Structures are given as C-alpha cells and as structure tokens.
Amino acid sequence: MPSLHEADPHRLRFAGPVCRSLAGPDCKVGRTGCVHLDELEFQHLTRRGASTHSMRLTRAPGAGKRCSRELGRPASMLIWQSPLVNKKEVESLAARTRGPAECLLREDNQGSLILCERGRAPKEVIEKRVSPLFSGGRFGPEAGPWIFSVGIWTPEEWRAEFCAWYRCEHGPMLLECREWQGFQFLEMATERGCQFYVLHRLAERAALDSEQRKRSRSTPWFRRLAKNKWFDKAFERVLCRRMSLLWH
C-alpha cells in the first residue's frame, strides 16, 4: 500500500491552481438525453463495460478558469434533502430536476438525498446549492453505490488550513483504501464562517471501518484541528445508498 507521499497523483484531481480565496468556479454545463436506470440495471451496464462517460456533466469550453479541467465537473450542483423513503416517490421528486439526478436512501431510513444539476425544489425539500472546490479519485456513479456525506462548518479564519488538511493529507489517506473510490469537496454560501460538504464515494460500506480511515484520524495535523469545538464531533455525517439514476 503506498504511503501518503507515494500516492498515485492520477487519483488526485483538484480544482485548478491553489488560490488564496479557494473560491468556487463559475462555468456553464450542458444537458444530456433522457435515460432512467435503477441500481441493478446500472450495475449490469457497468459490469458489461458500457461507457458511462455520457452520464456525466460537461462544461463550456474556456469557462471558469479555476474550475477543474476534468470532464463531469459542473460549476455548481444541488443537494436535495427530503423525508421521502419510497422509491417511486423519490423518483417522482427527482423528475422535477433537469439533467442527471442520483437518488439515494439514507441508511437510517430517515429520508433521502437527490444529487442533481438543476431543478425547482418544492417547499418541503431542503435545497443546498454547492460549488466544487477540489476532488480526489473517482466520484461518478460508476465508482460505487454508497455516498458518505459529511457537512462541515468552519470559522473563516480556519478556512485555508482546513482545506489544505483535507486536500493534502486527509483525502489522500482515505484514498489508500481500495473501497474508498473518491470524494468531492464542495462549498455552500453562508452568512457566517464557511460551510462545506464532502461527498465520499464508496464501493463498499466496509470502507468506513478501514485501517486507512483510522490512520487518517490519528495524525498530528488531525489532533491539532481536533482541539477546536467545531471540528469532527460537530460534523454532520450521513451514509446513503443509491436507489436509482435518472437523466432527462
């Protein structure tokens, strides 16, 4: 298993050059045709080697210089939180979106998430508009059916160090686990401090109990940040499993 310094650089793709503000990109995205697959159909498709490249979002040429050059990175995305757990009801809600939509059920059965590009959320849905800052590994639907969502608030003065820790140490150490396929580090506008959401893509749920994750939580840098009340215990963690995919 490679060490942190020996990690494959191709597994780490970050959103453009490092800048002081680490501001989100501003670019346009395209649209795709209408396709609908449930989870079993999607697994069958990918096992047969079918390309899922067309399932990803694309960006307008030359737009958003600070945006990642990797295909499939939108300027912004939406996270819809809903109390719905019935598959048909969740998919009916996802039909309000435009572009690709991924429907996920919380493991605790306390609701669902929909990840999408655009759409109009009804009043009963909590909508979070987020912009990607950086990412690591593979984070598209083909990377795995599990998403481990982590909501993180930090004071403004800790923004630079926290982002550096996640990008340079924590993220790469998690990716040393084979089942930990990748992650997206996202930011949402807020009136006070900084609000981040990290969507970790897992091939297997067991990745959460891996030795690599345990090591990532026992470093000197982690312990330094853990002295703050806003760190770790205050994070909002939700594990979800994909129900279905919808493109329109």
Query: Among 33-37, 172-176, 192-196, where is mean pLDDT lowest?
Result: 33-37
pLDDT for residue 242: 97
- Helices vs strands, H then E, count in the chain: 6, 10
Q: Is residue 119 within 8 Å of 97, Cβ to Cβ? A: yes
Amino acid at 216: S
Q: What pTM was computed for the model? A: 0.72
The full set of domains in the chain, from first to last, is 4-247 (3.30.70.100)
- Cα 243 to Cα 113: distance, rounded to the nearest angstrom: 10
Residue 14: pLDDT band by 50, 70, 90 thresholds? very low
Query: Of residues 56 and 244, which shows the higher confidence score?
Result: 244
Helices (H), the chain: 39-47, 87-94, 159-165, 171-174, 211-216, 220-225
Alpha carbon of residue 97 to chain centroid: 18
pLDDT reading at 96 higher than 50: yes
Nearest to 197 by CA among 209, 189, 205, 185: 185
Strands 97-106 and 146-154, bridge-based pairing = unpaired
Q: Is residue 91 within 8 Å of 97, Cβ to Cβ? A: no
Burial of 180 (0-12, 13-18, 19+ CB in 10 A): buried
**SS3 at position 29:** strand
